[in-house]
Amino acid sequence: MEPIFDKNGKTVGWLQQDKIYDTHGNPISFVRNRAVFTYSGEYLGTCVNGFFRDKNGDAVAFIRSAEGGPLRPIPEIPPIPPIPSLSPIPSITSVPPIPPISSLNWSKLSWNKYLRKE
């Protein structure tokens, strides 16, 4: 599992293949063709070059190998990865909109707001 860090370098989730988990190992969303969706099929944004981006193209979070985005903070040492829970079967998704051009800005959205958890 690959840790996901927010704009402050805090571990906010985990990425395993195309599945995104919260810090406890619960499945929360997934990536399909560079688009990020909830398991109910709602489009959230994109995951391009290791940056999770909102619908405006601003970065919300990143993985260590992220390239071509805003200046990244030094990430914290992540905790031990949790044992992931079984993921639900994803809903049928709509065709995502054409993504905006990726910006060099950090989003105003927190990771939880991006995932619609707040």
N-to-C CA span, the chain: 24
Q: Residue 118: its pLDDT value, please?
A: 60
CA distance linking residue 75 with residue 37, whole number of Å: 25
Position 88 scores a pLDDT of 86
The pLDDT, as a whole number, for residue 115 is 93
Number of domains in the chain: 1
Domain residue limits at 52: 2-114
**Hey, which bits of the chain come out as E strands?**
2-6, 11-16, 19-21, 27-32, 35-38, 43-48, 51-53, 59-62
Could you report the average pLDDT of every consecutive run of 10 residues in the chain (118 residues)? 97 97 96 95 95 97 96 96 88 85 96 87
Per-residue model confidence (pLDDT) at position 87: 85
Give SS3 for 114: helix
Q: Report yes or no: 81 and 19 within 8 Å, Cβ to Cβ.
A: no
